[in-house]
A and B are shown apart, each in its own frame.
Chain A
């Protein structure tokens, strides 16, 4: 049975697109046929993060409006057999997204794919609403920082009320899990950053994973490679673990120490700073 997973956060810049790409690639690496859809109409970026920006011909909006077939708009990843990207339009605005159009595309994708990852835009308006509307599950991307946690709480409220599952009124709900990104264990241990437990206590949802602050994330985005393909990096490992949990495996929660390439002196300085 196919699953639609929305990657959302409310706040911008917390790592939704990075996480969508990494989770999509992680699912494909496990052999699941996966499509990642960009819902950020007018500010297309998933294509850049996944490194297929030069191959965009048709987009999500073309498919919704009947100007192109779905299989024409899906871009097959060159590294992973089971991974596809559905880019959005860079030129239209979010009003081009309609509930019926999104449903039609998702229904068609469900027939062929195991997982459909919806990369939500920031905010809580039309694009973000439609990205979550038909979701079965949600990955709420949060930084250990006050505005991000607050916005995530708001998004959790919307997941519980403004989605197709919630509107059924039979007690169904979108299964939401927390992905804590840009986590810095040292700063947290020093009391300069909220701890994992702090954030979990406030948001009260299950924890999907902890992604450490890592230079490999920027490097991956520079190169257009999902960070989970960098299996040696702390962030890559953390995403791979999170994907394992997403598909239902029991994987021990490791708080990854982040970059291990830091020199002894840098670490020493990092501790005392």
Chain B
């Protein structure tokens, strides 16, 4: 109730809010408001390259993005055909 010295162990929800905004806005501003719009193109290119070597379905590529303050990761899963559960998992 009184003072803030008791509450400093766990970040307050206001602190959480500020940090979430800082991370998000840093990304949105740096990309000039056009953040992950390149991803559909990236996906198209990946599909095209893989298709040069094997037959895959348009559904077979799955792209996931995870942003945090110091690092963002892009995870690309490509399901290979022939019912074999082989998965390529390059992440950068």
**B interface bracket (residues with beta carbon within 8 Å of A):** 20 to 34
- CB contacts under 8 Å to B, within A202-243, are 218-219, 221-224
The interface residues of chain B lying within 8 Å CB-to-CB of A55 are 64-67
Q: Which of A62-70, A100-108, A128-136 contacts B (4 or more CB under 8 A)?
A: A62-70
The CA-CA distance from A71 to B34 in the complex, in Å, is 22
Q: How far is the CB of A48 from chain B (nearest CB, A)?
A: 7
Q: Is the CB of B40 within 8 A of A223?
A: no
B58 in the interface (beta carbon within 8 A): yes
Cβ of A172 under 8 Å from chain B:
no
- Proximity bits, A68-90, B CB within 8 Å = 1, else 0: 11011000000000000000001
What is the predominant secondary structure among interface residues of chain A facing chain B? helix
Contact digits for B22-50, partner A, Cβ 8 Å, 1 yes 0 no: 01100010000111110110011000000
Which chain B residues border A69 with CB–CB below 8 Å? 58-59
Known contacts: A69-B59, A219-B13, A222-B13. The answer to whether A57 contacts B37 by CB under 8 A is no
The answer, yes or no, to whether A58 is at the interface (CB within 8 Å) is yes
17 contacts between A and B (CB under 8 A): A53-B24, A54-B66, A57-B36, A57-B39, A57-B64, A58-B39, A58-B40, A58-B63, A62-B39, A69-B59, A90-B28, A90-B33, A91-B33, A91-B34, A223-B16, A224-B16, A224-B20
Known: A58-B39, A67-B43, A68-B43. 16 other contacts (CB 8 A): A54-B23, A54-B65, A54-B66, A55-B65, A56-B65, A58-B36, A62-B39, A67-B44, A68-B39, A69-B58, A69-B59, A71-B59, A72-B62, A91-B33, A91-B37, A223-B17
